[in-house]
Amino acid sequence: MLTIVTIATKESEAFLRKKTKEVSDPRAITRGFISDMKKTMIAANGIGLAANQIGEECKVFVAIHAGKFYTLINPEIIKSSAEEEEAEEGCLSVPMVYGPVKRAARVTIEGTDMRGKLVKIKAVGLLARIFQHEMDHLNGKLFIDRAKNTYRIEPEHLS
């Protein structure tokens, strides 16, 4: 299991707020690295995880939605709907903090898979939200920068 970088220290928060670097050869991203990211995300009860959340500065994220895994290398959102939806978000790098965030209801994202093949995904609803949240990570933004009001839930209140 990999360690998730949190905003617990000024140094770790500064790292999370740095823009990640383009991957020059997507095929250099190993299956083991992606597998470790997925296992870490699942173990932490997450639905998305960007590489910088585990201390890597590369432009890579993994996500899971409706039982399907997504791995995107050098992703870019190429289209966003004008229609927005507001929903509660949390983040593995900002533990126990939640808040409502407005995001585009639909996005089209392009990226490369591990074979170096270009993929294009049209996402709506929660999947669109996940992709936007992870893209924010890769661009050095945290959901708390977008949330209107954040609140903390103490661990003893979770069941």
| Per-residue pLDDT tens digits for 118-148 | 999 999 999 999 999 999 999 999 999 999 8
Is position 24 within any domain? yes
Is position 2 within any domain? no
Is position 3 within any domain? no
Structure tokens at 53: 């959340």
- Kindly name the residue from 22, 110, 134, 156 that is annotated as catalytic: 134
Is position 14 within any domain? yes
Q: Mean pLDDT across the stretch 84-97?
A: 97
For residue 135, what are the contacts with CB-CB under 8 A and spacing of at least 6? 61, 75, 76, 77, 109
Is position 4 within any domain? no
Q: Could you tell me if 122 and 96 are in contact, meaning their C-beta atoms sit under 8 angstroms apart?
A: no
Quote the pLDDT of residue 155.
72
Provide φ and ψ at 64, rounded to 5°.
-135, 135
pTM for the structure as a whole: 0.95
Is position 131 within any domain? yes
Residue found by looking up tokens 């050095």 in the block: 140
Q: Mean pLDDT across the stretch 110-122?
A: 95
Q: Indicate the pLDDT class of residue 114, thresholds 50, 70 and 90.
A: confident
Is position 1 within any domain? no
Least confident of 43-47, 89-93, 153-157: 153-157
Q: Mean pLDDT across the stretch 26-48?
A: 95
- pLDDT tens column, 16-35: 999 999 999 998 899 999 99
* Secondary structure (DSSP) of 124-145: EHHHHHHHHHHHHHHTT--GGG
Distance between alpha carbon 71 and the CA centroid of its chain, in Å? 11
Is position 41 within any domain? yes
Q: Give the chain's domain count.
A: 1
Whole-angstrom distance, CA of residue 50 vs CA of residue 92? 10
- Residue 156 falls in the annotated catalytic set: no
Strand order across the 94-104 sheet: 84-91, 94-104, 151-152
Domain, as residue range, for 73: 10-157
Q: Find the CATH number of the domain harbouring 152.
A: 3.90.45.10
Distances from the Cα of 3 to the Cα of 53, 93, 102, 127, 136, angstroms: 8, 10, 29, 24, 20
Q: Mean pLDDT across the stretch 60-66?
A: 98
Least confident of 2-11, 26-35, 47-56: 26-35
Q: Indicate the pLDDT class of residue 73, thresholds 50, 70 and 90.
A: very high
